């Protein structure tokens, strides 16, 4: 059994069975800006600290056996932030892709970008494409990076492409629409974790989150510790998912 499951008893004092493990955990990593302001630092420093946390939390989830992890790194709405912050986040992503891709590849991680790539700087777009191409056959874990991503924009894009492909009305169903989303071939998230205290989805995976379990923590993303992730996994394991039906003993 992987180390996180051996260690988790000492971390949380409560064990979730790996059988109840979410296959796909999606994360809204909120609170970077507030974390930085609290420390008297520029907001971009919060995002830099946030990257360290991505590294650590994806390792914890991978060791726990989670096969798909999605992080919400930049939304279609985040373009309206001050230019310096937008450039800061772009710069961080570019640096991270350049420095981390090889290590992730060695660890068998497949990298997938969810979102628009046409508005990214050419160099960033090239690095993202290279990372996806290099890692496309990896199987230990899939790391989806939602960047210039918005759930509504994703659904509209799918509808437009379906129309452009001349698909007839009777062929359109959930399975077909799924194929036109950025997440085609990625299972829907079982668990969505949002840090930073807000309790909303903020245009994240709107179609895919129909039956996701939601977990909110007030902790700012850069302050998140493995034990809080384990708590989220344990809480997930304790929930009953009915997908709209009744339980058998009802």
47 interacts with ligand FPP by CB under 6 A: yes
25 interacts with ligand FPP by CB under 6 A: no
Give burial (CB, 10 Å; 0-12/13-18/19+) of 246: exposed
Which of 78, 132, 138, 209 touches ligand FPP (CB under 6 A)? 78
Which of 61, 69, 93, 114 touches ligand FPP (CB under 6 A)? 93
Q: How big is the chain, counted in residues?
A: 250
Nearer to ligand FPP, 8 or 110 (CB): 110
Q: Angle 27-96-30 (CA atoms, 0-180°, nearest 5)?
A: 30
Examine the residue annotation and report whether 30 is marked as an active-site residue of this protein.
Answer: yes
144 interacts with ligand FPP by CB under 6 A: no
Nearer to ligand FPP, 49 or 158 (CB): 49
32 interacts with ligand FPP by CB under 6 A: yes
- Residue of this chain nearest to ligand FPP (CB atom): 33
Report yes or no: 69 and 58 within 8 Å, Cβ to Cβ. Answer: yes
Structure tokens at 246: 């009744």
Structure tokens at 226: 């493995």
Which of 51, 112, 128, 131 touches ligand FPP (CB under 6 A)? 51
Which of 73, 120, 128, 232 touches ligand FPP (CB under 6 A)? 73
Which of 22, 26, 31, 104 touches ligand FPP (CB under 6 A)? 31
Q: Minimum Å distance from CB 158 to ligand FPP?
A: 23
**Catalytic center residues:** 30, 78
Please give the residue ranges that form the binding site for ligand FPP (CB under 6 A). 29-34, 47, 50-51, 54, 71, 73-74, 78, 89, 92-93, 96, 145, 196
């Amino acid at each position: 059994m992987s180390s996180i499951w051996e260690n988790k008893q000492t971390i949380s004092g409560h064990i979730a069975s790996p059988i109840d493990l979410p296959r796909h955990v999606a994360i809204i990593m909120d609170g970077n800006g507030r974390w930085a302001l609290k420390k008297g630092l520029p907001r971009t420093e919060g995002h830099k600290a946030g990257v360290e946390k991505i590294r650590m939390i994806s390792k914890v989830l991978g060791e726990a056996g989670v096969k798909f992890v999605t992080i919400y790194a930049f939304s279609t709405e985040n373009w309206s932030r001050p230019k310096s912050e937008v450039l800061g986040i772009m710069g961080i992503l570019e640096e991270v892709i350049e420095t981390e891709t090889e290590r992730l590849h060695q660890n068998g991680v497949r990298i997938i970008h969810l979102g628009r790539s046409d508005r990214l700087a050419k160099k960033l777009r090239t690095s993202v494409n290279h990372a996806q191409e290099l890692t496309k056959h990896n199987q230990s874990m899939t790391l989806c990076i939602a960047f210039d991503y918005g759930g509504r924009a994703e659904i509209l894009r799918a509808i437009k492409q379906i129309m452009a492909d001349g698909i007839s009305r009777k062929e359109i169903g959930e399975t077909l629409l799924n194929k036109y989303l950025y997440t085609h071939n990625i299972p829907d998230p079982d668990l969505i974790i949002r840090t930073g205290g807000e309790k909303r989805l903020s245009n994240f995976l709107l179609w895919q989150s129909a039956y996701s379990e939601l977990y909110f923590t007030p902790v700012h993303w850069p302050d998140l510790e493995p034990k809080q992730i384990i708590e989220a996994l344990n809480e997930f394991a304790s929930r009953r998912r009915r997908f709209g039906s009744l339980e058998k003993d009802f």
